[in-house]
Structure 1
Amino acid sequence: MKKIYNIENIGKITRNLFWLFVERGGQFALAIIISGMLARGLGPDDFGKWQYANSILLIISPLTWVCGAEILVPLMVRSLAENGKTRVDNMSIDSIPAINDIIGTAFVIRLIASIFVVFVSGLVVVLFGQRSTVDPVVSNIFFGFLGALLFREPFAVFTAWLQARTHSRPALLVSLIAAVMKTVLLYIFIKFSFSTKFYSSLWAFESIVVAVGLCWIYVLFKSRRPIFLVNKYYKYNVENLKCSLKARFNNIVKVLSDWNFRTEMARDLLLNGAVFWVALIFYTVFLKIDRIILQRYVGYDVLGQYGAAQQITENWITMALMIAQTVAPIFIFGVVDRKKLRRNIAVLSLIVTIFMSLGAIIISYFSTDIIRLVFGGKFVDAARYLTWSTWIAVLVGIQSITSQYLLKFQMKGSVLFKWCIAFLAAIIFDIILIPIYGGYGALLGVASGYLVALIIDIFVICFTFKRV
């Protein structure tokens, strides 16, 4: 029997997983620390308002995902593979025109979409704020988040480029460094009693740091020369430093000038990505609609308790998504043989199920201690929600693997149908159950949506496998 995996692929995936675990582990710890600081500094009521503003932001965020990673990564993988430029361990460059076209076109589209969404969203909040429809605290928090949206999405094309090359380490390190900086600044803001309206501006600051770092990494990969300000061959004086800065700046301009905006490619990306884009909108609204509906029936303090539990769960869920995004380029997107693909999906689903189930057992058992440790005694009621929400993460983990099959074969209609039905199932359960059971009803709504999505994935895999 032929070997399913070769040593080179195992090495790639192991290195990538290691750095992803380092980054996600660090991000997980920092997210918990940040949530704890915010919860203790704001209290249940204002923390609920923070969760509400964040939910609104995440609902409008997909409007900027016009050319999502679901379209870009498989396209980049194929382009790199066809030109024999998939290795990056030795910092080799890929001067592939198609890659430059993809990156340049996707960046411009995302930048235009981000500017439009930020402008319209800000205008809507101002108009509703003048009518006292929106809580002033929610408005102030939301404006800070808008800055993050402006800088985060356009530069995410570099992350997709690195993901396609199975070399996520540089982007992960930049993300982790930016998160550490944000955490330190947030501690300073809380320590010295800064106004809460400045807290969310740190998320914009983090996005700017990540954007600059990703640009720097991209130029470094595309250039055979270092791009630091000075190097060992220069004497440390003003004139040589000016020459060094000028040389580095020219190098950056040269690399970025290789980008091409292709009208035809923009049209293709928009048309091919339109279905995925709408599907992502349904998906993201599905993720946060529980908090929007819950706020209408309970106070911000209860929403804060529920949001605290979901904050822990969502950070844990990123582990499953991290595994799926890491293994997909090699073990799913890059596999042609159908039997091998089926075996890969089954094995990966089993691994994720075991991994997420063990985590759910541990988190649910220590839920009260975790909530008390992270958020303080005022949020102890959140442990009731955390006990159940961690088991929803098992469904999320399995679905994150099965969904890669639909992405591999660009089953746009199936993806749209899946998240549309999942959204409808969740909102129906939310409307019926939240008025009766409160936060528990919201959890049942989320679980029903993920269960429907998983069933549709399995159905599509079983009934289309022989035809692809």
Structure 2
Amino acid sequence: MLVKDVKSFFKLARILEYKQDFRQHSQIYKNVGWLIGEKLLTIALVLFCDGLLARTITIGEFGQWQYSLNLASMIGCVGFVAGAEVIIPALARYTRLRSEIITAGFIVRSFFSLLTVLLSAIICDVFFDNSVVGKLVVIALIIVVVNETTSVIVAYFQAITNIRPVVLCRLLALAIRASLFYVVSLNTKNIFLFISVRGIEVVVTGILLVLLIRTQPIYWRPNTRIIKIILIRGIRFLPSILAMYAYTKIDRIFVQKYFSYEYLAVYSIAQQYVEQCFLLITIVVQSISPKYIFSTQYTSLNFRQVIFKIGFFLFLIATFLIIVTQLIGNIFISSVFGSKYLGSFEIMRVLVVTTIPFAIDTLATQILLKEKAAFLLFLKWLVMAVFAVFMYVIVLPIMGSSNIRYIFIINFTVMALLSLILVKCYCFKTH
């Protein structure tokens, strides 16, 4: 009887401990819930828009559209100085300097974004024989850099774990985009009108975020010293970002090289779906990292326990995404994009497996960011960029171009293993 009472006591104690933990971190759980809900709605609306576009224009034009967006992301990353990896940790640590940090981030990003657009317009005009693709790249690049400039505001709300107003703003802008896409698809097949709608979405999002930040105790406070610090830290991470984007986006460049814009369209549907899965994992990690990872209050044992718990949670999310894809992917593609894109399913069901190594790598990257291991991040992405080029240029011709999807899996698996090695050898020595 006494043993039973003791067991009941400890069981009650554990329940009370879990309830206390939930109360202490309820804002984080709500934040993650809002972000997951937003991502589910975003996936639905984005796929609705792309489905309309894919059905309206030809497969070749859809391939050009995807190629342009992909290349714009690769070029536009030059303007991603002072991104979330710099701003969020700074906002979480230095709460009294949030106005100065937000102002510095906006100034630095605006300057580099403008510089990137000007240089890219010259490059596209010189090197692109296909004038349609060249124009699409420049327009898409402007959209990318404007969106990234206003994302400084998003970083603030992520740092204070109050993402709900940002979610509502982004969903409203996305709903406007979906409505305009539908109207345009009924009246024209002009691809430039569709990309103009993307521009309208970014402008609306920017306006809403500016109005939103004005409701917070954040003011325009340029501080030369803080601008310099943000700039230096941003430049330290920039090589890593350049190598990362080169690694993650280069596959579609080689798809177009080895195949055609038509095959790229089919491949991009699968790749876009997988990227949405990646983004879901990323926003979950970035939302919980300010208090669970960047906090310095954990002892060595507690810190490892926290990391393992987060890792298991991310593994469950990745497994869920893989199962759902295998079950409904085929029906989904035919319903959204049409039967002419059914070839995407065989690619999608293979690529989605990479959500597991991606989750491992994302968590490991946050730990490296906590330790300010900018050089290790750069080294990792540089190694992976070189490795990816080697796989696509040397190994793929030997394996056969039809096996490009398996090269993608190999690349992400190697990346996850490399990240684990870096964390094990460097970070856990200090925790």
TM-score scaled by length of structure 2: 0.91
Whole-angstrom distance in 2 between the partners of 1:134 and 1:309? 28
Structure 2 counterparts to residues 17-166 of structure 1, below 5 A: 17-80=32-95, 96=96, 98-128=97-127, 133-166=128-161
SS, match of residue 366 in structure 1: helix
- Distance, in Å, in 2 between the alignment partners of 1:150 and 1:326 is 23
Gaps (5+ residues) in structure 2? Answer: 1-12
Whole-Å separation in 2 of the counterparts to 1:438 and 1:170? 48
SS in 1 for 2:25: helix
Q: Measure the CA separation in 1 of the matches of 2:387 and 2:89.
A: 30
Q: Greater helix share, 1 or 2?
A: 2
Q: After superposing the two structures, state which structure 1 stretch, 133-142 or 283-292, moved more.
A: 133-142
Q: Measure, in 2, the Cα distance between the counterparts of 1:400 and 1:218.
A: 28
Structure 2: distance between partners of 1:114 and 1:412: 22
Q: Residue 216 of structure 2: SS of its match in structure 1?
A: helix
Alignment match, 2:8: none
Distance in 1, Cα, partners of 2:168 & 2:280: 17
Moved more, 383-392 or 138-147: 138-147
Deviations 1:30-69 (A, max 9, x none): 1111221121112321111111101111101211111111
Which of the residues 413, 418, 424 maps onto 1:456? 418
Residue 207 (structure 1) aligns with: 202
1:298 is matched with which residue? 259
**1:444: how far off?**
3.0
Report if aligned partners of 1:145, 1:201 keep a CA contact under 8 Å in 2: no
Give the aligned residue type for 1:262.
Answer: N
Task: Provide the C-alpha distance between the structure 2 equivalents of 1:400 and 1:314, rounded to a whole number of angstroms.
Answer: 13
Shift of residue 412, structure 1, vs aligned partner: 0.7
Are the counterparts in 1 of residues 31 and 161 from structure 2 also a CA contact under 8 Å?
yes
Alpha-carbon distance change, 165 to 181 in structure 1, aligned in 2, over 3 angstroms: same
- Deviation of 1:367 after TM superposition, in Å, equals 2.7
| Residue type of the alignment partner of 2:124 | V
1-structure distance, mates of 2:400, 2:21? 51
Cα distance change on mapping 1:158 and 1:29 into 2, 3 Å:
same
Q: Please say if 1:379 is aligned against 2:369.
A: no
- Asked if structure 1 preserves the Cα contact closer than 8 Å seen for 2:73 and 2:144, the reply is no
Alignment pair present for 1:408 and 2:408: no
CA distance in 2: counterparts of 1:427 and 1:76, whole angstroms: 36
The AA in structure 2 aligned to 1:57 is A
RMSD: 2.0
User: How far did residue 433 of structure 1 move?
Assistant: 4.2
Aligned residue in 1 for 2:3: none
The answer to whether structure 1 residue 334 and structure 2 residue 295 are counterparts is yes
Which of 222, 239, 253 in structure 2 is aligned with 1:278? 239
Q: For the residues of structure 1 that align with 2:189 and 2:328, how far apart are their CA atoms?
A: 33
Runs of 4+ in 1 over 4 A off after TM superposition: 1-5, 436-440
Q: Cα distance, 1:283 vs. partner? A: 0.7
Give the Cα–Cα distance (whole angstroms) in 2 for the partners of residues 372 and 208 of structure 1.
32
Q: Contact (CA 8 Å) 1:368, 1:380: kept in 2 or not?
A: yes
Conserved 8 A contact 1:149-1:204? no
After the TM superposition, which of the residue ranges 260-269 and 292-301 deviates more from structure 2? 260-269
> d(CA) in 2 for partners of 1:443 and 1:318?
20
| Contact map agreement 2:368 2:377 (CA 8 A) in 1 | yes
- Do 1:433 and 1:441's aligned partners in 2 also have CA atoms closer than 8 Å? no
1:346 shift after superposition: 0.8
Q: Which residue of 1 aligns with 2:322?
A: 360
Matched, 1:432 2:394: yes
For 1:264, the equivalent position in structure 2 comes to: 225
Read off the aligned partner of 2:70 and give its amino acid letter. S
How far apart are the structure 2 equivalents of 1:103 and 1:376?
44
Deviation at 1:262, TM superposition (A): 2.4
Gap regions ≥5 residues in structure 1: 81-95, 223-254
Between 1:109-118 and 1:332-341, the stretch displaced more is 332-341
2:163 to 160, 168, 182: 168
Q: In the alignment, what sits opposite 1:467?
A: 430
Q: Give the Å deviation of 1:431.
A: 1.4
TM-score (norm. length: structure 1): 0.84
1:90 aligned partner: none
Report the counterpart of residue 228 of structure 1 in structure 2: none
Residues 439 and 187 of structure 1: is their aligned pair in 2 closer, same or farther, counting only changes over 3 Å? Answer: farther
